Amino acid sequence: MPKMKTKRGAAKRFRVRASGSVKRAQAFKRHILTKKTTKNKRQLRGTMEVHASDVVAVKAMLPYA
């Protein structure tokens, strides 16, 4: 069997933690920031956990993570 390929777009967006959960960056922080409040932008910093319903799909895109 050939090696499975990693989806490179997913590899750049997600990291699998040692516990098995998947972390992701917050969305809505790239552009059109002038109309967003400072509080809103501050709360979009950091990382979040991928929702449980999406974890299986993300892990399928990252076979060796």
Would you kindly state where each structural domain of the chain is located, as residue ranges?
8-61
With a pLDDT cut of 70, the percent of the chain lying above it is 100
Model confidence at 48, in pLDDT bands (50, 70, 90)?
A: very high
Tokens for 22?
Answer: 């998947």
Give me the mean pLDDT over the 24-50 stretch. 97
Burial class of residue 51, CB neighbours in 10 A (0-12, 13-18, 19+): exposed
Confidence of residue 51 (pLDDT cuts 50, 70, 90): very high
- pLDDT the model gives residue 54: 97
Q: Which CATH architecture has domain 8-61?
A: Irregular (4.10)
